[in-house]
Amino acid sequence: MNKAALLREPKGRKLLFSAGLSWMFDAMDVGMVSFIVAALSVEWKLGAQQIGLLTSINSIGMAAGAAVAGSLADRYGRRAVLLWTLLIFSAASGLSALAGSFAALCILRFFAGFGLGGELPVASTLVSESVPARVRGRAVVLLESFWAGGWILAALIAYFVIPDYGWKAAFVIGAVPALYALYLRRAIQDSPRFTGQQNHKLSFRARVASVWSSKHRTTTITLWILWFTVVFSYYGMFLWLPTVMVLKGYGLVKSFEYVLIMTLAQLPGYFTAAYFIEKFGRKFVLVTYLLLTAASAIWFGNSETEGMLIAAGICLSFFNLGAWGGMYAYSPELYPTAVRSTGVGLAASFGRIGGIVGPYLVGMLVSKHTPITTIFFIFFIAIVIGALTVLFFGKETKGFDPDEAAA
């Protein structure tokens, strides 16, 4: 079955688009923060470390949300947790428009991050469990492709809304997903795999013990390293991208325009990953796309001309987001249904620590006038570590059913 065939199945198509739109709203919120901090740095005269702190607090919330929601989803169902996390993040995003101080904005961004971090691993688990194994990886990568749509929306809002109406208007738009949750409540159901486990629910302690048992320990360590390095590099690079463009001498509006161009490259990155993941396997996509992301990071950090910056940024977006799609497809396939959402949630939560460290580290380095080339070399090293960890210690999950292996 090809990608088009998957989308022609009414049930699969409805689930993919329903969960995908919630994913798109998540990305829109995260993307808008990267543009809003560039505007706030001018309006509120924020220093580099304050910008790093604001973006890191968002990731602290995401770390907490991923751990809590992952556990709750194994207990109460993927659908219920998906709806609640969507409501939490959209409410916090809308209320961010009312923030009158840096401290208030940081508190609201924590709660927005909590909802965001909880929703993402739960949505990928729900889709992974609800489609046939032969298209499972492709379906999750296609789900992840909605992230690019959200970033494109964020870039458009930044380009057309923020310069004329201000950053508060962008946050108000971020409250729209609360209305979508009302539709989602009727549109999706829990996966058959989860409902079939209703009488075999494990306690939280038992689920964590299973994730770290000898059977899954190598897998868990590999997955945690993968998540940390990918999230560390992504949030460190992409949340700072508009600001880095300003540091390289481009005006705020011009930097938004360039980032929009780079963001458009995310879509073909996802679609090629969706094709290769079922043809060549999960490890091929992860290792190849991560190594090419690392090469693109070095290229971007050393680029000086407009043409080189845009070309390197396009490659960075293309390969990095393709790798993200592969990671979200790979993660739920490593654990049986009873502990799947807990395993993925804990890995995502640990990864979000990287999302805390990355932006804050960039803020510290920029404030000390560290060259951009040095900063992007740090991300190069991190991404290579993630790629080599998967290459040498990761298991291939194409066509693999962890429930059968656990039986």
For the stretch 286-344, pLDDT in tens is 999 999 999 999 998 888 887 888 899 899 999 999 999 999 999 999 999 889 999 99
As a whole number of angstroms, the distance between CA 89 and CA 103 comes to 18
Question: In the chain, pLDDT over 90 holds for what percent of residues?
Answer: 36
pLDDT greater at residue 121 or residue 377: 377
pLDDT band per the 50, 70, 90 thresholds, residue 106: very high
pLDDT band per the 50, 70, 90 thresholds, residue 197: low
Q: Average pLDDT, stretch 74-89?
A: 89
Q: What pLDDT score does 163 carry?
A: 83
Assigned domain for 193 exists: no
Please say whether the beta carbons of 159 and 257 come within 8 A: yes
Q: Which tokens sit at 401?
A: 């059913």
Q: What pLDDT score does 251 carry?
A: 65
Which residue intervals of 10-95 are DSSP H helices?
A: 10-43, 48-76, 78-95
* Number of separate domains in the chain: 1
Q: What pLDDT score does 367 carry?
A: 83
Assigned domain for 303 exists: yes
Q: What pLDDT score does 1 carry?
A: 41
Q: What pLDDT score does 254 carry?
A: 66
pLDDT greater at residue 33 or residue 211: 211
Please say whether the beta carbons of 148 and 322 come within 8 A: no
Please say whether the beta carbons of 47 and 367 come within 8 A: yes
Please say whether the beta carbons of 24 and 147 come within 8 A: yes
As a whole number of angstroms, the distance between CA 359 and CA 48 comes to 10
Please say whether the beta carbons of 219 and 334 come within 8 A: yes
Average pLDDT of the chain is 86
CATH no. for residue 303?
1.20.1250.20
Assigned domain for 322 exists: yes
Q: Average pLDDT, stretch 85-108?
A: 91
Assigned domain for 3 exists: no
Lowest mean pLDDT among 21-35, 218-232, 252-266: 252-266
Q: What pLDDT score does 190 carry?
A: 83
Give the single-character DSSP code of 373: H
Q: Mapping DSSP to helix (H, G, I), strand (E, B) and coil, where does residue 257 land?
A: helix
DSSP 322-372: HHHHHHHHHGGGGS-HHHHHHHHHHHHHHHHHHHHHHHHHHHHHHHTT--H
Q: Mapping DSSP to helix (H, G, I), strand (E, B) and coil, where does residue 227 land?
A: helix
Residue 135 pLDDT > 60: yes
Residue 206 pLDDT > 50: yes
pLDDT band per the 50, 70, 90 thresholds, residue 235: confident
Q: Mapping DSSP to helix (H, G, I), strand (E, B) and coil, where does residue 131 land?
A: coil
Residue 16 pLDDT > 90: no
- Residue 392 CB contacts under 8 Å (≥ 6 apart), including other chains: none
Q: What pLDDT score does 406 carry?
A: 60
Q: How many CB atoms lie within 10 A of CB 284?
A: 16
pLDDT band per the 50, 70, 90 thresholds, residue 350: very high
Please say whether the beta carbons of 329 and 140 come within 8 A: yes
Q: Average pLDDT, stretch 196-210?
A: 77
Residue 204 pLDDT > 70: yes
Q: What pLDDT score does 252 carry?
A: 57
Q: What pLDDT score does 9 carry?
A: 60
Q: What pLDDT score does 260 carry?
A: 76
DSSP 3-state percent helix, strand, coil across the chain (nearest 5): 85, 0, 15
- Nearest Cα neighbor of 40 from 259, 260, 239, 258 is 239
Assigned domain for 189 exists: no
Q: What pLDDT score does 255 carry?
A: 67
pLDDT band per the 50, 70, 90 thresholds, residue 68: very high
Q: What pLDDT score does 186 carry?
A: 75
Q: What residue numbers bound the domain in which 307 lies?
A: 10-184+202-406
Residue 130 pLDDT > 60: yes
Residue 3 pLDDT > 50: no
Assigned domain for 190 exists: no
Q: How many CB atoms lie within 10 A of CB 42?
A: 11
Q: Mapping DSSP to helix (H, G, I), strand (E, B) and coil, where does residue 103 land?
A: helix
Residue type, 65: G
Question: In the chain, pLDDT over 70 holds for what percent of residues?
Answer: 93
Assigned domain for 194 exists: no
As a whole number of angstroms, the distance between CA 239 and CA 231 comes to 11
Residue 8 pLDDT > 60: no
Q: What pLDDT score does 164 carry?
A: 85
As a whole number of angstroms, the distance between CA 87 and CA 83 comes to 6
Assigned domain for 197 exists: no
SS (H, E, C) 381-406: HHHHHHHHHHHHHCCCCCCCCHHHHH
